Amino acid sequence: MAISVEHLRRQYGSFTAVDDMSFEVGGGEIVGLIGPNGAGKTTTLRSLAGILRPTAGHVRIDGYDIVEHAIEAKRRLAFMPDEPHLFEYLTVLEHLRLTARLYAVHDIDHRAKVLLDELELSGKEHALPGELSRGMRQKVVIACGLVREATALLFDEPLTGLDPIGIRKMRETIVARGRAGAAILLSSHLLHLVEEICTRIIIMDGGRIVADGTFAELAAHLEIAAAGSSLEQIFMRVTGRETSAR
Ligand code: ATP
């Protein structure tokens, strides 16, 4: 399995931010990770990426444990964080070339051109981060993640700061990577987008999974008609926010 999470727990001191999470994401699946602020989405993604060490449980990428076989696991995953941190003195193209060297990606100039076209960053190849808008910096972070062919793609809020055209393009990019066989886990508060592109949805609340299934399965479980309902309705119901939202 491309991404396998078993009884993951992550504490910050004595506070448990993520508790007993188990799920899998297979190649070609696009799984949406949603939940209220503080639910534990970023903590989950950072634990999967090997940035935070699990307090308990296991994360495996293509069968490689993220703690015991960190290099093998990390070689197969790309994590795209929501905060676009870049190297101040490297241009856009230099970021891609550096990533390519670190991950032994061949044919970087061709790949970089295709990717920069795809993400509408053409013309910004030689710009430094300080000369880019926030949305553009976000795209550079994503370009660094996509420039190598990772088995598992982890996106934390990939659409924050993007304009409507950027959102549409990023949606197409994510769907295309899924079709090409990547296992994708993405967190987002844009529920209509999650509903549209995700093949499965995991809802978290209070550090735990409170629902996991396709949109139709979640609707059926809650006994609401999938046809006329929205993911927002399901979200409100599952997280118990239904009445306060009205
Ligand atoms: P959001 O939708 O606001 O991005 P989230 O679902 O990504 O939220 P997390 O960032 O994973 O939530 O945070 C989960 C919980 O862990 C929150 O209660 C948060 O305050 C706490 N937390 C996160 N990082 C730390 C930290 N470094 N130290 C202590 N507590 C933390």
pLDDT digits (tens, 9 = 90+) for 197-237: 999 999 999 999 999 999 989 988 887 776 677 889 899 98
| Ligand 1 site, CB within 6 A | 12, 15, 17, 35, 37-43
Q: Tell me which residue range forms the domain holding 13.
A: 1-76+151-166+177-246
pLDDT of residue 220: 86
Instruction: Give yes or no: residues 237 and 226 share one domain.
Output: yes
In this prediction, residue 245 has a pLDDT band, given cuts at 50, 70 and 90, of: very low
Share of the chain above pLDDT 70, in %: 97
Residue nearest to atom 29 of ligand 1 (CA): 12
Residue nearest to atom 26 of ligand 1 (CA): 12
18 found inside a domain: yes
Q: Which atom of ligand 1 is nearest to the CA of 40?
A: 11
pLDDT of residue 243: 61
pLDDT digits (tens, 9 = 90+) for 82-106: 888 899 999 999 999 999 999 989 8
Instruction: Give yes or no: residues 145 and 157 share one domain.
Output: no
Tokens of 72: 């093998």
Residues whose CB falls within 8 Å of the CB of residue 44, separated by 6 or more in sequence, listed in order: 5, 8, 10, 18, 21, 33, 187, 204
Instruction: Give yes or no: residues 125 and 241 share one domain.
Output: no
Q: What is the 3-state secondary structure (H, E, C) of the chain?
A: CCEEEEEEEEEECCEEEEEEEEEEECCCCEEEEECCCCCCHHHHHHHHCCCCCCCEEEEEECCEECCCCHHHHHHCEEEECCCCCCCCCCCHHHHHHHHHHHCCCCCHHHHHHHHHHHCCCCCCCCCCHHHCCHHHHHHHHHHHHHCCCCCEEEEECCCCCCCHHHHHHHHHHHHHHHHCCCEEEEECCCHHHHHHHCCEEEEEECCEEEEEECHHHHHHHCCCCCCCCCHHHHHHHHCCCHHHHC
Higher per-residue pLDDT: 62 or 242: 62
Q: What CATH number does residue 57 fall under?
A: 3.40.50.300
Instruction: Give yes or no: residues 145 and 155 share one domain.
Output: no
194 found inside a domain: yes
Tell me the CA–centroid distance for residue 131 and ligand 1, in Å: 30
Tell me the CA–centroid distance for residue 126 and ligand 1, in Å: 35
Tell me the CA–centroid distance for residue 119 and ligand 1, in Å: 29
Measured CA to CA, the distance from residue 205 to residue 203 in angstroms comes to 7
pLDDT of residue 83: 85
pLDDT digits (tens, 9 = 90+) for 11-40: 999 999 999 999 999 999 999 999 999 999
96 found inside a domain: yes
Higher per-residue pLDDT: 167 or 4: 4
pLDDT digits (tens, 9 = 90+) for 143-202: 999 998 899 999 999 988 899 988 999 999 999 999 999 999 999 999 999 999 999 999
Domains identified in the chain, total number: 2
pLDDT of residue 226: 66
β partners of residue 203: 34, 211
